[in-house]
Homo-oligomer: A and B are copies of this chain.
Amino acid sequence: ADSKEVNDNVEKLRRGESESVRNPEDLPHFRLPTIQSGTEVPAEEASKDVNSSGKKDMPPIGTYVLPHPIWTEEQVNEVKVTHKEPECLVDRLAYRTVRLFRGGFDLLSGFKFGTRNEKKWLNRICFLETVAGVPGMVAAMMRHMTSLRRLQRDQGWIHTLLEEAENERMHLLTALQLKEPSTFFRLCVIGAQGVFVTMFGISYVINAKFCHRFVGYLEEEAVKTYTKCLEDIDQPDGPMKHWQTQAAPDVAIRYWKMKPDSTMRDVILAIRADEAHHRIVNHSLASLRKDEFNPYKPGQ
């Protein structure tokens, strides 16, 4: 790759011609929208997503995503609020920490007071999802670095953690289709990420089991939150009843392979099913030894 070659390649890439590989058919590994739905995603589709930078020729959000479960109607409706009793000191510590976070957040965000409305819900969802995307990525990086540093295999955990991280980021990008974040909101997000990345990273070095249990309990709260959101949608004069009919954003329809006429209610159901999935995955990982093989297959 000399200068000319690199420049030619960049030109080609900008025109949308990426380097050819010998057997592209060998590589249906990611959920490309064209492969998945069997129909082309026309370029105009992309520009429908807020945040696609408005360029017509830009591929839509979620063009290359990791495998993830696609829920059936039955599955999204059978999600329950559950609680795993803490069994040891680490468990109890993890649970206390989550309860403390939740209490503090409900108070500081003003979610406890007054009537709930769409603005409050979107604020809450967007903020929580910017935090939710952190643990999976930090844990994946930690295990990757540990594998490199200790000169041993990872035991198949990394892909599950990356899938969780990306899934949470897709929750965020979906919710952002309905929200224009304010400067104050952005500052809160930046601050929260700084604190949480540092704390979670240090905790993961000290005790990875605590961290996975912590995420397990965090996801218990997430399921509670989205269940409450569904109540606000379903009550005859609930504050969110318009989400019964409001169309789902395009990015959500592509990502969860939903029917084209799906609503925001369906989106919240899918997100809740994802959270319930992270709940069992993280509680299970916390109960496995760090050097046990992770039996979750890609997309499970």
Residues of B near A287 (CB, < 8 A) are 6-7, 10
A281 to B: closest C-beta gap in Å: 8
The answer for the CA separation of A155 and B267 in the assembled complex, in Å, is 23
How many A residues have CB within 8 A of the partner chain?
99
Given contacts A19-B296, A23-B70, A70-B22, whether A84 and B3 have CB atoms under 8 Å apart is yes
Q: Which of A57-65, A96-104, A108-116, A235-243 contacts B (4 or more CB under 8 A)?
A: A57-65
Q: Chain B CB within 10 Å — which of A13, A66, A296 has the most?
A: A13
Residues of B near A85 (CB, < 8 A) are 2-3
| A137 near B141: Cβ-Cβ < 8 Å | yes
1/0 per position for A6-33, CB-CB distance to B under 8 A? 1101100110111111111011111110
| B2 near A145: Cβ-Cβ < 8 Å | no
Oligomeric state, in copies: 2
Interface assignment of A52: CB less than 8 Å from any CB of chain B:
yes
The answer for the CA separation of A84 and B292 in the assembled complex, in Å, is 44
| A27 near B299: Cβ-Cβ < 8 Å | yes
Q: Chain B CB within 10 Å — which of A29, A162, A293 has the most?
A: A29
Q: What are some 25 contacts across the A-B interface (CB < 8 A)? A: A2-B82, A2-B84, A5-B280, A6-B84, A6-B287, A9-B284, A16-B295, A19-B280, A20-B300, A21-B69, A26-B70, A27-B67, A27-B299, A29-B30, A29-B67, A29-B299, A59-B293, A133-B148, A137-B141, A144-B166, A145-B193, A148-B172, A150-B186, A151-B189, A152-B176
